[in-house]
Amino acid sequence: MLDSTLAVIKFIGKEERFINFALEITPHVIVSATAGVPIVNDISIFASRDPVMIDTASVDTINKVSIIPGSAILGKKNKLRKKIEDVFHTLREID
């Protein structure tokens, strides 16, 4: 991640920027051997000057891609019997 961050800084300059790595997104906060199957495939690396915009873009993108079979959210999907429109709200029941 450090090499990727350095490349972004060299490309866009040293002004304050925010970077989100939307990789290995699991139902648990800490990624470990027991974190379970990721919810979605690796999405991308986002960069922006606006921290709210970068988080919104990250969440919106995650909500648009297909859920990986076997992830924890599918059990909730079957229980709710509806299309998942907000992955994180479905997992944690918070906005």
pLDDT tens digits, one per residue of 53-95: 998 998 889 888 888 877 777 665 555 445 667 777 777 666 6
More confident position, 11 or 42: 42
Residue that has been written with the tokens 């490349």 in this structure: 7
What's the predicted TM-score (pTM) here?
Answer: 0.64
Task: Report the pLDDT averaged over residues 38-53.
Answer: 87
Q: What b-and-e string marks burial along 58-94, b requiring 16 or more CB atoms within 10 Å of the CB? A: bbeebeeeebeeebbbeeeeeeeeeebeebbebbeee
The neighbour count for residue 4, using CB atoms within 10 Å, is 12
Residue 35 confidence (pLDDT): 63
